[in-house]
Amino acid sequence: MDLAIETNGLTKKYGSLTAVNKLDLKVQRNTIHGFLGPNGAGKTTTMKILVGLLKPNEGTVKVLGQELHGSKNGGVLKWFYEQADSRLSIGYMPELPKFPKHLKGAELLDIYGQMYGMTQQQRKEQIPKLVELVGLKGRENDLIGKYSKGMQQRIGIAQTLLNNPELVILDEPSLGLDPVGMVEVREVVKEIAKEGRTVLVSSHLLFEVEQICTHVTIINRGTALVSDTLQNVSGLLSGPAMLHVEVAKISNTIVNAVKKLPCVTSVVQTGDTLRIQMETHEDMRAQVSQEITRSGGIIVAMSQKTSNLEDVFIQLVSKDQGGKPQ
Amino acid sequence: MTATRTSTGRPHPSWFTRFWAVVRYEMLWNIRKKKFLGLVIVAFIFATLSWVLPVVLSATTDQAINANPEYAVTFTIPGIGIFLFALITAMNSISSEFESGTIVPLLTKPVSRSMIFLGKLLATFMIILVTYTILFVYVVIGGAVVYGPQNNLHLVPLGLFGNILSTFVWIAIILAAGALSKSTIVSTLVALGVFIGLFLAVPIIAVFAGPSPVLNYLPGSGASGTMMTTQGPITVGAGTDGIGANLINYALYSSANVDFNTTNIELQDGQPLITQALAYSEPISVITSRSVATAVVYTIVFLFIAWIAFKWAQILE
Ligand SMILES: Nc1ncnc2c1ncn2[C@@H]1O[C@H](COP(=O)(O)OP(=O)(O)O)[C@@H](O)[C@H]1O
Ligand SMILES: [Mg+2]
């Protein structure tokens, strides 16, 4: 398994408070990995360790195959350059990012691009694309001091992509945005992941993670409660799924045919709607619709009610709290 | 665009390009500050007044202006000006990166903290160099217009260099305070405290303890003495702020001596009697080289402290 991020026993303490507690985080390459947890769970702290802003008290961190916070010796040059090169292929957007107010949006991207060692030619090609991608076109020559919160988030996303990174780490990219902005940011995040990138995105909002991620890690009090594909996590604690099918030209033949399917436990008919109780939480819509069509029915609408991430999240977190006061 | 990338697949980007980006970042930050623009304007107003006033006076008193061929070469930015230039170019440099949170996106770029520190330093140096050069050129031209042809103009760059060195003593102190405290207010107060403290303390010490040699090793104005020259007596400050003037003094009067006096206040018949007695006398060469050496040591030590403090600063915000 090719991992973009791998932490083992990662622990970070602020004085007596343990913000991250023996965290094992594994992020596979080419996935959108949601990092989900309530406020104060340790998401930001973990991400800061991943980009080298904080040093862990214990544990190891490997990002894109490179050991971070490793050996201290390596001569004067290494002392001078630190691990700057390890950040060449990583784009990071801090939680509520702050950029110098006296710079214009395009200037900021140009200077940051130069910090990645990009040539003027490369920057000239890349920056207009990024400005367009995050929806700041027409405002790129305004001073950042005049940007709204949402625009600062957008430029924050744009600056992560300057050097065409392999790994993009976004700390609550939709924090403080209005609903329209949140939708747009989700679209951008999906766009970012298209070009073979790995995206680690934190959020305390479940529906957000549910809509964009392929994988999820749920963290609470500094420890991962579960880490898997979105599908498996959603199905983790859910009972069997329930299908609601609206059928035109409904008949007893159809109902009986559906009942006979091995994955179906029971069928209740109300008017044109069949409520089908499934045996598993897996997605069986294809089989069911095939059977209905074969029996002469026409499906007008179909929806599957599975327990969503929210249910999993609430169950896991409340279990983890173990009745102790928060 | 390829579907997969490897860390090793990238060509290694130039360190110089990355370093230069930091310099640009800092320069834009500095020259767009209103404080900085304000200070430059004030400096030019003072420089202008210094030769416009004599013109106005001579016009109102019908007396011709005396030619002064030494005007340009003896021009130097006064201690308070040097302090203010240092304060305004350096006060935000490190501390406000922490205060505003801009340090976080900056440190996650592929530039090291040492590169950031040196880039900021180079940008500060360039800004001071350019501003001072323009100011000195302006003074030379103005001086020539008002006071007639100027002598020894080839020495002007020496004075300029001295003023820059004096400024960097304060810049180093301010950067060190800023990197240690991560607070603009604290670093400004520390710098102001040191400056005002020395400004007030030095003359007081001089009165009570005589021109103590300790004063020669402090930043700021230092002990003050008098040098007799062919052009009459010249006041000489032995501290780090006076380097520009002292380099010129040394170049012009290399064998001159500077007298430092003790001031005595006695009561005689109920009346205070103030007398001055020679405490000691030093060649201008000694005073100049000592102030240069002192300034270099202060600059290096405080810059080193600032560098280390910045390199190890935790990002907690
Ligand atoms: N600089 C800090 N000093 C002390 N405690 C901190 C600091 N930053 C975060 N914490 C604490 O560490 C815990 C984890 O915080 P954080 O990583 O910001 O969580 P999240 O991003 O998941 O909301 C919280 O209890 C928070 O109060
Ligand atoms: Mg957070």
| Rounded Cα–Cα distance for residues B104 and B315 (Å) | 8
**The dihedral of CA A158, A160, A165, A166: what is its sign?**
negative
Backbone dihedral angles phi then psi of residue B268, each to the nearest 5 degrees: -125, 120
Provide the pLDDT for residue A71: 55
- Per-residue tokens: B51: 């030769």
Provide the pLDDT for residue B67: 81
Backbone dihedral angles phi then psi of residue B240, each to the nearest 5 degrees: -75, -20
Fold of A3-234: Rossmann fold (3.40.50)
| Rounded Cα–Cα distance for residues B287 and B291 (Å) | 6
The dihedral over CA atoms of A158, A159, A163, A165, expressed in degrees to the nearest 10, equals -70
Provide the pLDDT for residue B2: 39
Identify all chain A residues contacting B12, using CB atoms and an 8 Å cutoff: 85, 117
Backbone dihedral angles phi then psi of residue B104, each to the nearest 5 degrees: -65, -55
Provide the pLDDT for residue A238: 57
Q: Are A198 and B4 in contact (CB under 8 A)?
A: no
Looking at chain B, list the stretches that DSSP marks H as alpha helix, in order from N- to C-terminal side: 15-31, 34-61, 79-90, 95-100, 103-107, 113-147, 156-181, 184-209, 243-252, 284-312
Residue B316 lies in a domain: no
Highest mean pLDDT among A47-56, B253-262, B275-284: A47-56
Among candidates A30, A48, A117 on the partner chain, residue whose Cβ is nearest the Cβ of B18:
A117
| Rounded Cα–Cα distance for residues B131 and B30 (Å) | 12
C-alpha closest to that of A207 among A46, A85, A67, A34: A34
- Percent of chain B at pLDDT > 90 equals 54
State whether residue B224 is helix, strand or coil.
Answer: strand
Average of per-residue pLDDT values in chain B: 88
pLDDT band at B61 (very low <50, low <70, confident <90, very high): confident
Q: Give the position of tokens 């009942």.
A: A259
Provide the pLDDT for residue A325: 40
Average of per-residue pLDDT values in chain A: 87
Over residues B46-57, mean pLDDT? 85
A235 touches chain B (CB under 8 A): no
Look up the ipTM and state it: 0.88
Ligand 1 center–CA A108 separation, angstroms: 28
More confident residue, B161 or B197: B161
Over residues B22-35, mean pLDDT? 92
Ligand 1 site, residue A23, Cβ cutoff 6 A: no
Q: Give the position of tokens 């996106």.
A: B105
Provide the pLDDT for residue A234: 72
Residue B153 lies in a domain: yes
Over residues A218-242, mean pLDDT? 81
Phi-psi group of A296: left, alpha or beta (phi > 0 → left; psi -120 to 50 → alpha; rest → beta): left
Provide the pLDDT for residue A230: 86
What is the per-residue pLDDT across A104-161, written as a single tens digit (0 to 9) for each?
999 999 999 999 999 999 999 999 999 999 999 999 999 999 999 889 999 999 999 9
pLDDT band at B56 (very low <50, low <70, confident <90, very high): confident
Q: Are B65 and B55 in contact (CB under 8 A)?
A: yes
Residue B288 has pLDDT above 80, yes or no: yes
| Rounded Cα–Cα distance for residues B168 and A77 (Å) | 26
What is the per-residue pLDDT across B78-111, written as a single tens digit (0 to 9) for each?
989 999 999 999 998 999 999 999 999 999 999 9
Structural domain count, chain B: 1
pLDDT band at A237 (very low <50, low <70, confident <90, very high): low
Domain enclosing residue B284, as ranges: 15-311
A45 → chain B, closest CA residue: B316
Residue B189 has pLDDT above 90, yes or no: yes
Residue B7 has pLDDT above 50, yes or no: no
What is the per-residue pLDDT across B126-169, written as a single tens digit (0 to 9) for each?
999 999 999 999 999 988 988 888 889 999 999 999 999 999 99
Ligand nearest to the CA of A36: 1
Residue B240 has pLDDT above 50, yes or no: yes
Contacts of B70 (CB under 8 A, 6+ apart): B150, B151, B152, B231
Among candidates B17, B21, B108 on the partner chain, residue whose Cβ is nearest the Cβ of A87:
B108
Provide the pLDDT for residue A239: 62
Provide the pLDDT for residue B264: 74
Distances (CA, A) of A187 to A179, A192, A203: 13, 9, 15
CATH 3.40.50.300 spans which residues of chain A?
Answer: 3-234
Residue B206 lies in a domain: yes
Over residues B107-128, mean pLDDT? 96
pLDDT band at A206 (very low <50, low <70, confident <90, very high): confident
- Per-residue tokens: A21: 């507690």
**End-to-end Cα separation, chain B, in angstroms:** 37
| Rounded Cα–Cα distance for residues A173 and A185 (Å) | 7
- Per-residue tokens: B123: 């940008």
Over residues B51-64, mean pLDDT? 82
Provide the pLDDT for residue A324: 45
What is the per-residue pLDDT across A12-21, written as a single tens digit (0 to 9) for each?
999 999 999 9
pTM of the model: 0.85
Over residues B272-276, mean pLDDT? 79
Ligand 1 site, residue B316, Cβ cutoff 6 A: yes
Other CB atoms within 10 A of residue B8 CB: 7
C-alpha closest to that of B27 among B118, B126, B115: B126
CATH 3.30.70.100 spans which residues of chain A?
Answer: 242-305
Which of the four CATH numbers 3.40.50.150, 3.30.70.100, 3.90.1150.10, 3.40.50.1100 does domain A242-305 have?
A: 3.30.70.100
Ligand 1 site, residue A17, Cβ cutoff 6 A: yes
Residues of B near A (Cβ–Cβ under 8 Å) read 1-7, 10, 12-15, 17-18, 20-22, 24-25, 28-29, 32-33, 100-102, 104-105, 107-115, 314-316
